[in-house]
Amino acid sequence: MKSNITWHDASVGIEHYRKKNNHHSGVIWLTGLSGSGKSSIANRVNQRLFERGVQAFLLDGDNVRHGLNKDLTFTPEDREENIRRIGEVAKLFAEGGTIILTAFISPYQADRDQVRHILSTGDFVEVHVDCPIDECEKRDPKGLYKKARKGEIKGFTGVDAPYEKPDSPEIVLHSDRYDEEECARQLVSFLESKGWI
């Protein structure tokens, strides 16, 4: 079946979009434990970029599982497929000149690396939202840690499933030391320093 598929090259490409938008495009991948603040930080960064006229879009883990990935569970295999699909969608957005912010636990380094490798060099920023698990459990915004500790949820990252901290992220945000606004400021400042915006 795949032999009958041919990639269609568009006459308007990534460099055209970047020139029109007057900024870089790519994928900003926020990873961290549940409750670390990934979604909140990504949302604040997206708001800041929007206010500056930057073409940006936020893909949030829970939101994507309501639609595109609603057929997937939380087994290691389905988590891998979840990240693979998101990576491919994010790549398409980036090729259209958009800065994509993603907020996913994405617990496995190999899955995050797979997304990095489908993008051009320099178009993937891995952001580790670093927060100790005891602090994440105190926050427990969705009550998931409590359910996992009671055995009501199986395979929960940080409880009975692993979380592999990034090997060498482009930036680490310590969300236990700084509030969401400051973490967002640090990430925007990083993007400025790299010439993305």
Q: Which candidate in 40, 106, 168, 189 is catalytic?
A: 106
Residue 67 annotated in ligand binding = no
Q: DSSP readout, the chain? A: -GGG--PPPPSS-HHHHHHHHTS--EEEEEE--TTSSHHHHHHHHHHHHHHTT--EEEEEHHHHHTTTTTT--SSHHHHHHHHHHHHHHHHHHHHTTPEEEEE-----HHHHHHHHHHSPTTSEEEEEEE--HHHHHHH-TTSHHHHHHTTSSSS-BTTTB-----SS-SEEEETTTS-HHHHHHHHHHHHHHTT--
Residue 32 annotated in ligand binding = yes
Residue 34 annotated in ligand binding = yes
User: Does the active-site annotation cover 25?
Assistant: no
Residue 37 annotated in ligand binding = yes
Residue 35 annotated in ligand binding = yes
Residue 97 annotated in ligand binding = no
Residues marked as catalytic: 106
Annotated binding site for ATP: 32-39
